[in-house]
Amino acid sequence: MADKPTPDAWQAAASKEVKGKDLIWQTPEGIAVKPLYTAEDVTVDPGLPGFAPFTRGVRASMYAGRPWTIRQYAGFSTAEESNAFYRRNLAAGQKGLSVAFDLATHRGYDSDHPRVVGDVGKAGVAIDTVEDMKILFDGIPLDKMSVSMTMNGAVIPILAFFIVAGEEQGVDRKLLDGTIQNDILKEFMVRNTYIYPPEPSMRIISDIFGYTSREMPKFNSISISGYHMQEAGATQVQELAFTIADGREYVKYGVASGLDIDKFAGRLSFFFAIGMNFFMEIAKLRAARVLWHRVMTNLGAQDERSKMLRTHCQTSGVSLTEQDPYNNVIRTTIEAMAAMLGGTQSLHTNALDEAIALPTDFSARIARNTQIVIQEETGMCNVVDPLGGSYYIESLTQELVDKAWEIIERVDADGGMAKAVAAGWPKAMIEEAAAARQARVDRGEDVIVGVNKYRLAAEDALETLEVDNAKVREGQVARINAVKASRDEAACQAALDALREGARGSGNLLALAVDAARARATLGEISAAMEDVFGRYGTVPTPVKGVYSAPYDGDARWQQVLDGVAAVERRLGRKPRLMVAKMGQDGHDRGANVIASAFGDMGFDVVSGPLFQTPEETVVLAIESGVDVVGASSLAAGHKTLIPELIRLLREQGRNDIKVIAGGVIPPQDYDYLRDAGVQGIYGPGSNVVECAADVLRLLGHNMPPLEDAA
């Protein structure tokens, strides 16, 4: 009988086949992935599904007993339109609701507030009053439907409205089932839809823990989110580590506020992104369960349910492309399979058009049916943890556990996640990863099919959904006025005064807000009552330096841009100056930060504007800073309102010389509208940043040849 081949024999054979080529893959997480894994690489027994530390799943039967919940994240325009969309989806096989709110709502403003003119109804549903919430769930029984709500900044009024809407449907709050995101640390790191400073924000979370543990036993009081970290550029190790560290911080705050850990920890849930690194994402969900079990054991939890990490997942938005968008169906399918094989409890699949707009009924149906086909046609649900025991998966899971734990220990050394977030290093780490990723994409090292490889000669137009922002806002303002006219004003103001006093003292803020909601206080009024005591938080972005430029040493195209910047500097007597502006209430700043970092590395003088500016504030800062170009970064569909207003105001000031460019999530059919308004350069998703810089130099009068000629 022949000897059994050894790994050394395999290595010799593989090296001969590829002529000595190094087959080791260095991932962005710093993991060296080998081309072959054997039993020797598995150092930890993963155990069995349903048993600690839950590596292989939180239930013994997993999907063989019950598939994951199909939960589509949606909301747009008015409560009426969103309700109709939900009901169509539920009739077509969706099992749970996941509500997207507009940015005005997220930031605690009513739709009639002057700061939110371009945001109302654009990237989610506008909710100003209990009446809006009742319409949102009209015909959807809240004692039978699980409802997830992505809300953090205005979490108190939104949850209060939900409770009162349930009451007025005849549903006792003890029967309300679902999840509120309520994850403010992540907002301070990446998503930025915060309202109050960190300390009172953490108190709000503790108050929600206390209220829901007493009054809402079926409701998940927090969904600790790594999703937005990965969307902001975090590696999977960073997403994993910071999410677990956030969760631990919330539990510690809950215990410090007097709650029994085992009374509330079992109602915590998690939310992870699922990107295109297929096996890494599967291993990440397994590693998360191991880490959470370790963390909760160390914190003194006794109930195994308290140590069990349950998670919702959503396929990546960042992986979707504007170019050749039907490829997005394939990407979402691959990501959905990774979530399923990793053991998620519920899943949202993104629609193919979400790189540029809200999903249409057509695209949402494909996204939803992706999950239904996996559940019903593939046989994947018939085996519990089908990849359990894979040499590669088990080894990768342990690598992720170890690397994430190193970051968690650094957080510990800083005194916890709240202090680490205040120090700023987690945010900086994520922004460095985002800039490095953009450089790899721009250089073609990370392939994106249809964007930097296999690009179509011409793109077909894609029909997208557009919300009439002005019409929605007009309707919302009318409803706000009607609610205020019909309420008992004295009772409402008394409830708001009680909320202010509770904020100054130790009253439970959610309980007080429920009283205010019953009295028909608006979302903006409830938020403002707490803002009177806590204040409103704000920050100015700080771009990272040297990360984007690092891979470009010796690159001819890069050098051509550097030379162009130097030439413009000689002509102007100073560096060309770009302001990166974030107008409206959109806090997603990955794109803006990457542009600021990259242009800074290319020699531009970059002014990073504060988040949440109005066009008026942007004009003042642009003129005071003496900029040559304002780059308006748009993600949340306010571009047709905010950018033309910016240009109009610049012209009013006699500053036609300041050029305005736009970048981000802008549907191609809006390009002509923006050009007619005076926008001189538009750079959508997938734009190469080096080529964008060359184009800006041309706008500044530099005779810049096409970069291809520089090779």
Q: Which residues are catalytic?
A: 73, 227-228, 582, 586, 588
Rounded-to-integer distance, Cα 608 and Cα 672, Å: 27
Closest to 164 (Cα-Cα) out of 577, 477, 662, 511 = 511
Grouping H, G, I as helix, E, B as strand and the rest as coil, residue 93 is: coil
Contact predicate 107/138, CB 8 Å:
no
Asked if 79 and 126 count as a contact pair (C-beta separation under 8 A), the reply is: yes
Task: Tell me the H-state helices in 71-197.
Answer: 79-91, 103-106, 130-136, 155-168, 184-186
Q: Which helix (DSSP H) or strand (DSSP E) does residue 698 occupy? A: helix 689-699
Both tokens of 291, joined, read 């880490």
> Can you tell me the distance from the alpha carbon of 666 to that of 683, in angstroms, rounded to the nearest whole number?
8
Pairing of strands 32-33, 25-26: antiparallel
- Inter-residue contact 108 to 195 (CB < 8 Å): yes
Residue whose token pair is 């709650």: 259
How long is the chain?
711
Of 67, 66, 49, 47, the residue nearest 58 (C-alpha):
49
Return all residues near 562 (Cβ < 8 A) that are at least 6 apart.
602, 603
Task: Indicate the DSSP class of residue 389.
Answer: T
Query: What 3-state class would DSSP assign to 359?
Result: coil
For residue 290, give the 3-state DSSP assignment: helix
508: Cβ–Cβ under 8 A, 6 or more apart, which residues?
207, 210, 211, 502
φ and ψ of 196, to 5 deg: -100, 165
**Contact assessment for residue 661 and residue 626, using Cβ atoms and an 8 Å cutoff:** no
**CA-based nearest residue to 460, from 324, 357, 331:** 324
CA 553 to chain centre: 32
Burial class of residue 406 (count of CB atoms within 10 Å of its CB; 0-12, 13-18, 19+) = exposed
Name the one residue in this structure whose structure tokens are 């005064």: 497
How large is the angle between the packed helices 489-504 and 509-518, nearest 10 degrees? 170
Please report which helix (H) or strand (E) contains residue 660, including its range. strand 659-664
Which DSSP category does 383 fall into?
S
DSSP 212-278: HHHH-TTEE-EEEE-HHHHHTT--HHHHHHHHHHHHHHHHHHHHHTT--HHHHGGGEEEEEEE-S-H
CA distance 400 to 285: 10
Picking from 75, 67, 287, 107, the residue whose alpha carbon sits closest to that of residue 192 is 107
Separation of alpha carbons 107 and 87, rounded Å: 27
Asked if residue 619 lies in contact with residue 646, where contact means CB atoms within 8 angstroms, the answer is yes
Q: Which residue has the tokens 């006025």?
A: 481
Q: What angle do CA 251, 255, 258 make, to 5 degrees?
A: 150
Number of H helices, E strands in the chain: 27, 16
Find how far residue 585's CA is from the centre of its chain.
15
Report the distance separating Cα 541 and Cα 592, nearest Å.
Answer: 9
